[in-house]
Structure 1
């Protein structure tokens, strides 16, 4: 199997049942920011839920972006390491290059209904092979030392997906002609 360059995406969903300290901070601060920003789209307090505001108020899809500012500092604390995703040795190894914040659900009067997602897109990886439920990958920027490239086995799991794939140059040029 030829090496292919891929990016992975991990969708981290955070809600009232989240127990990790980082998750709780994101959940709390994004809810406070949602309530603040929702006032711009719902000044008469006509609508209670994020879904209603989104449905009835023009431009309310901007709330995803407007609320994301409340979590940017927390994402920076991760030092570009994707949370929750470990290699088969139990180590965080997967770097992300970008993230996207998303409001899934919320309620202006009931924080327990607040639910958000942070979608992390990895830095490029070389996908060398698949071993059972594991992808054998290495950093795309890794420079072979003495003919060796350090690799990681990462298990496919819920909310982790191959986001994009880049075919090898020889395949791309063959398809272009």
Structure 2
């Protein structure tokens, strides 16, 4: 693959097996917010799951957006450091934006609650592969001339990692 500008996304799935304080807090607060917000779309309690509520009332899809607000302070506290994603030197990879999604939730079964956070980097320059690692530089470094240096890092290709933007 030639040099390219890319953005990388890393997906973190959080469920009842949450370990760290960030994951536990996000799990608890999104479930509690789901219970509260779901009442507007399920006043008689006829539906148990998020998907049933959406199937019955398409406006219930706004629960994704509304529940996502409950974790804004937790994500801000990460200071743009992607949890669980490190370069080969153990440094956290920074993200520019994130996306929240409820994968499954059930008002009668907290243990079924499952969400994902997808963190997306700012522009990176892909310089090539070294085995199972990508050689990357922050920002647009495509026009670095011979003799110039660029600060680089190695990122292992792994599950949950994807390239969401690519320009050669």
- Offset from partner CA, 1:12-71 (integer Å, 9 cap, x none): 100001111100000000000000110111111110111211211121111110000101
1: CA distance, partners of 2:3 / 2:23: 35
Partner of 2:77: 77
Partner of 2:38: 38
Partner of 2:163: 162
- Offset from partner CA, 1:101-150 (integer Å, 9 cap, x none): 000011102111100001111111000011111000010157x7x82211
1:19 aligns with 2:19: yes
2: CA distance, partners of 1:116 / 1:2: 35
The offset of 1:3, in angstroms, is 2.2
Unaligned runs of 5+ in 2: none
Matched position secondary structure for 2:39 = helix
The offset of 1:82, in angstroms, is 1.1
Partner of 2:133: 134
Higher strand share: 2
Matched position secondary structure for 2:135 = strand
The size of the alignment, in residue pairs, is: 165
Partner of 1:107: 106
Stretches of 4+ moved more than 6 A in 1? Answer: none
**How does 1:78-93 map onto structure 2 within 5 Å?**
78-92=78-92
Alignment check: 8 A CA contact 1:99 1:120 kept: yes
- Offset from partner CA, 1:64-109 (integer Å, 9 cap, x none): 10000101111101111111111111121x2211111000011102
Matched position secondary structure for 1:69 = helix
2: CA distance, partners of 1:119 / 1:20: 17
Alignment check: 8 A CA contact 2:98 2:118 kept: yes
TM-score, L = length of structure 1: 0.88
2: CA distance, partners of 1:106 / 1:50: 5
TM-score, L = length of structure 2: 0.93
Alignment check: 8 A CA contact 1:42 1:57 kept: no
